[in-house]
């Protein structure tokens, strides 16, 4: 597969980049994508939700009224779940939502996600993104050149570049990652994927081990 190479102004450079079909043109496995996205979101959960049960609620344990003869229901104490401010029955407890997913499944999911984006024409290859200093204005201009100004975008760079990261930090929906950090959720969540030409080789190497 070959794609046009663009400058940051959105104009074609006349060159083409060759992409590995084993990464960008496979038979997509949607179930692998679902598993990887599910794991990504589950691993981000803190799992610290907690409510008080009857033994943990502060309050008197005095019996409110006699057991029988009142015509009403039996009530053990003011901490009963039936009363406002009382305990909660079977409430959430702290738990760990993390679960394991095989590396081969995760790699298949990323290749499938990239294939979907390539088929949709949502992947653009950039000649490079060179910033001598953090410039949010320049980063916004680049996104607008690719019609991603108000849409979610993913920029894949070969190595960490603080100027690029700082330029995109305050832009809602914009995400910058290195080739080794690309994950299925970011790919599927983005309306457009911009890949710097020099990031293609390390990205393909990561996903075809």
Give tens-digit pLDDT for 95-142. Answer: 999 999 999 999 999 999 999 999 999 999 999 898 889 999 999 999
pTM: 0.83
Are residue 142 and residue 166 in the same domain, yes or no? yes
Are residue 137 and residue 36 in the same domain, yes or no? yes
Tell me which residue range forms the domain holding 202. 2-46+99-207
- Provide the terminal-to-terminal Cα distance of the chain, rounded to the nearest Å: 20
Are residue 116 and residue 151 in the same domain, yes or no? yes
Are residue 34 and residue 80 in the same domain, yes or no? no
Give tens-digit pLDDT for 21-40. Answer: 999 999 999 999 999 999 99
Are residue 81 and residue 148 in the same domain, yes or no? no
Are residue 179 and residue 127 in the same domain, yes or no? yes
- Tally of CB atoms within 10 A around 121: 9
- Of 91, 117, 144, at which residue does a domain stop? 91
What angle, 0 to 180 degrees and rounded to 10, lies between the N-to-C axes of helices 103-119 and 30-43?
A: 110
Are residue 159 and residue 132 in the same domain, yes or no? yes
């Amino acid at each position: 597969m070959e794609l046009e190479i663009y400058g940051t102004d959105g104009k074609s450079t006349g060159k083409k980049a060759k992409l590995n079909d084993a990464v960008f043109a496979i038979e997509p496995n949607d179930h692998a994508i679902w598993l990887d996205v599910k794991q990504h979101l589950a691993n981000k959960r803190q799992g610290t939700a907690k409510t008080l049960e009857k033994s943990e609620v502060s309050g008197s344990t005095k019996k409110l009224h006699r057991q029988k003869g009142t015509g009403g229901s039996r009530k053990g104490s003011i901490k009963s779940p039936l009363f406002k401010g009382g305990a909660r029955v079977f409430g959430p407890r702290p738990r760990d939502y993390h679960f394991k997913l095989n590396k081969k499944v995760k790699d298949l999911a990323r290749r499938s996600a990239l294939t979907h984006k390539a088929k949709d024409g949502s992947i653009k290859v950039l000649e490079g993104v060179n910033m001598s200093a953090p410039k949010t204005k320049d980063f916004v201009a680049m996104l607008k050149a690719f019609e991603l100004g108000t849409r979610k975008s993913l920029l894949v760079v070969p190595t960490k570049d603080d100027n690029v990261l700082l330029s995109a930090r305050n832009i809602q929906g914009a995400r910058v990652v290195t080739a080794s950090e690309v994950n299925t959720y970011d790919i599927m969540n983005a309306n457009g994927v911009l890949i710097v030409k020099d990031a293609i080789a390390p990205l393909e190497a990561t996903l075809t081990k």
